[in-house]
Amino acid sequence: MKNTLLIVGVIILVNFASFGQGRNTTADYTPVRNILTNWDQIRGDWLTSSLAAIANDEAIPDRTFPEPLTPYQLFAFVPENSRTRVVELMDSIERSEVRPSGVNFERGINIVRMLSMISRPTTIRSSWTFGDPHIVSFDKSYHQNFQVGEFVLAKSKTSDFEIQARFETINEDASFTTAVSMSVNGDIVAIYAGDKPDDIQNSALRVNGEVVLISNPTYYLPKGGTISYSNGAYTVNWASGEASIIEFENYMDKKYLNVAIQINAENESDHTGLSTIQSTGDESEVYASARIEESTSLFSYNQNRTAAYYSRSHHKRKKVTRLDSQAEVEARKVCLEAGVSEIDLEGSIYDYGHFSIPPSLRPEFTSPVDETELVELSERVLNTNSTKNQLSSNRSEIPEEDNKEVARRERKPIDGERVEEVVSVVGRVFLEILNSGIRVR
């Protein structure tokens, strides 16, 4: 009878463990796993499991290697011939009528499209929203924004990528981006330079509605994305390859945000939002379609605020008159000496000439392939937000954008930790039963 009880206990423990690790959807990816583990046994195994999780819109497994990479970034290290074969296999899985158990490609990211983009650097596009908001769109055309309220800056039609921005007036002459909220493969990441959605006013970052304070270079999101902070700017990387850099700036003792966005897109029609405004397009139509409502907002609000609040008439601003010729010449000289590119020059001249805002240079997106060297691993190295070399055991902290002492909040256990706790309890119960000799009829 003890043997029977032991078998039952093992089955329960295995079922709990497999649930916690998300292995139920990866067993059928054997051909993909073989290719990737042949490249790198440890990283390849993690990457295969991560791709399956992403396709099914699930949390990816914990990283088992030291580099702070997203699945998209790690896949770029795979040799090109192996990448090509993996894309072919994933495509056949997606097109197959009999798919791996539990996998629903309609729920998650288009994996085939995501992986194919690695080998197509010409599809990279960027936009830049800065100052009194000026928008340089994905087609490299310049637009001055006099609207206030909350809008979609960029949203993908093929993946869970979206960035929303809040434009608020600082006075009747100027408005700026005061908050940004993003869907990072389903995780909601928000940065508030102005009004905070809760009572913690000296911390700007929220992840899935919770205050997150990060200390080490990289913070890992459940769905595979990453966040890092350095020199007054947050960098957010999507598991599907998109990226955004959000910089803090000051005007009249108030903070605002500049937002750089990088996407992978074969066609401009793959995305919607203000960053897709074209030089020959109808701006009013784009603004109307991009304005968000309560039901489409990614922002959190305190009890006195809603999406409609930020669009009301008392937030509206007047258009500033054109600079006189002498002021424009002086502003142009300052901006050119600062190194402002031609595409960003008009907006920088406007901000310096009207508000004496120093020119802001567009940040550069860097590729981890150029900056990271994969070390050879003989065993797995657990790399999570709670491991010793990443964060403290139950809380984290970062020098915030204004270097103030930040609030602390106890970290809530994630789902995987809850499962491990349940497994531990179940295991102890069965061991006690076995040791006591209790019979089960």
Three-class SS of residue 135?
A: strand
Structure confidence at residue 406 (pLDDT): 35
CB 276 within 8 A of CB 136: no
CB 324 within 8 A of CB 354: no
Provide φ and ψ at 375, rounded to 5°.
Answer: -85, 150
Lowest mean pLDDT among 6-15, 166-175, 380-389, 426-435: 6-15
Q: Whole-angstrom Cα distance, residue 358 to residue 408?
A: 34
Q: Whole-angstrom Cα distance, residue 253 to residue 249?
A: 10
The Cα diameter of the chain in Å comes to 95
Structure confidence at residue 116 (pLDDT): 75
Q: Which residue has the tokens 């997150």?
A: 212
DSSP letter, residue 382: -
The Cα-based distances of 300 to 60, 86, 258, 267 in angstroms read 25, 39, 20, 32
317: left (phi over 0), alpha (psi -120 to 50) or beta: beta
pLDDT in tens, 346-367: 999 999 999 999 998 999 998 8
Structure confidence at residue 109 (pLDDT): 59
Give the DSSP letter string of 210-229. Answer: EE----SS-EE-TTS-EEEE
More confident call, 8 vs 120: 120
Structure confidence at residue 283 (pLDDT): 73
More confident call, 152 vs 171: 152
Structure confidence at residue 304 (pLDDT): 80
Structure confidence at residue 318 (pLDDT): 64
Task: Name, in order, each residue with C-beta under 8 angstroms of 348's C-beta and a sequence gap of 6 or more.
Answer: 130, 131, 331, 335, 338, 340, 359, 360
Mean pLDDT, the chain, whole residue set: 78
Q: Whole-angstrom Cα distance, residue 33 to residue 43?
A: 10
Q: Whole-angstrom Cα distance, residue 351 to residue 361?
A: 13
Dig out the tokens for 169 from the structure. Answer: 């007036």
The answer to whether residue 424 scores a pLDDT higher than 50 is no
Q: Where are the domains of the chain?
A: 1-119+416-441, 122-320
Provide φ and ψ at 266, rounded to 5°.
Answer: -70, -35
pLDDT in tens, 285-302: 788 888 998 899 999 998
Q: Whole-angstrom Cα distance, residue 115 to residue 249?
A: 35
The Cα-based distances of 282 to 276, 278, 379 in angstroms read 11, 8, 57
Predicted structure pTM score = 0.79
More confident call, 101 vs 68: 68
Structure confidence at residue 6 (pLDDT): 37
Task: Name, in order, each residue with C-beta under 8 angstroms of 321's C-beta and a sequence gap of 6 or more.
Answer: none
pLDDT in tens, 330-348: 999 999 999 999 999 999 9
* Nearest one of 260, 285, 24 to 130, comparing CA atoms: 260
**Angle of helix 325-338 versus helix 345-355 axis, rounded to 10:** 120
β strands within 222-331, DSSP E = 226-230, 233-237, 243-251, 254-264, 271-272
Q: Whole-angstrom Cα distance, residue 118 to residue 243?
A: 14
Three-class SS of residue 376?
A: coil
Provide φ and ψ at 143, rounded to 5°.
Answer: -140, 135
Amino acid identity at 231: N
Residues of the chain above pLDDT 90, percent? 44
pLDDT in tens, 391-423: 333 333 444 444 333 333 333 343 444 434 433
